[in-house]
Amino acid sequence: MNFYADTDRDILWIIHRKVAGTSLRKALDVAMTIPAEEALPHNASMRTITVVRHPWDRITSGMFNIFNGGPEVPFAQRISEEITSREGPHAVDWHFWPQWYVIDGFRVDDVILFENLAEGWCRLQSEYDLPELGHFNKGDGHDWRLPEGEPFDWSPLLPWYEPDFAFCEEWKRA
């Protein structure tokens, strides 16, 4: 469940996994999220906001902080087991769903980049009287460019994740 209808502020939030989701849910005091089919009607009348993150950075965070597998399981093997061996985005764990896949069919009025979350949140705070955004579940900070100290070939993942790069022209694909 990636959707939260904030009826007090008239905002539909799309909260992705591995994109400060815990921090957002705590700041917004989210007790329960709703599935897409329940969120879609809110999309017609509420302002819709989401935070997105560079897809390779997001996947790397998930692999090292959720689906670690231990140091004996190489990064490429974890990617294969959790993502590329699956039949499509619907078949991977929701931590690895492409962001476009979650947003598909929704009008999005405001996209905040994870990389600029502090600035984006400050802007939203003044506009919507939002609380401070705490920092929870900070990962280990692995660099997607060198997830295990060596460059990684992300090209096999491009067919599913290419649309995510449309969120930010500055993001690099490799």
pLDDT one-digit tens code per residue, 22-75: 899 999 999 889 999 999 999 999 999 999 999 999 999 888 876 666 667 888
- Stretch 128-140: mean pLDDT, rounded? 80
Rounded CA gap, 121 and 97, in Å? 24
Taking every pair of Cα atoms in the chain, the longest distance, rounded to a whole number of angstroms, is 50
Rounded-to-integer distance, Cα 53 and Cα 96, Å: 12
Query: What residues are paired with 12 via a beta bridge?
Result: 5, 48
Looking from the CA of 111 toward its CB, the CA atoms found within 13 Å total: 15
Q: Let me know the angle formed at the C-alpha of 48 by 44 and 53, rounded to the nearest 5 degrees.
A: 145
Reported as a single tens digit per residue, the pLDDT across 80-107 is 999 999 999 999 998 899 999 999 999 9
Q: What pLDDT, on a 0 to 100 scale, did the predictor assign at position 142? A: 77
Is the pLDDT assigned to residue 170 strictly greater than 70?
yes
- Across the chain, what does the average pLDDT equal? 90
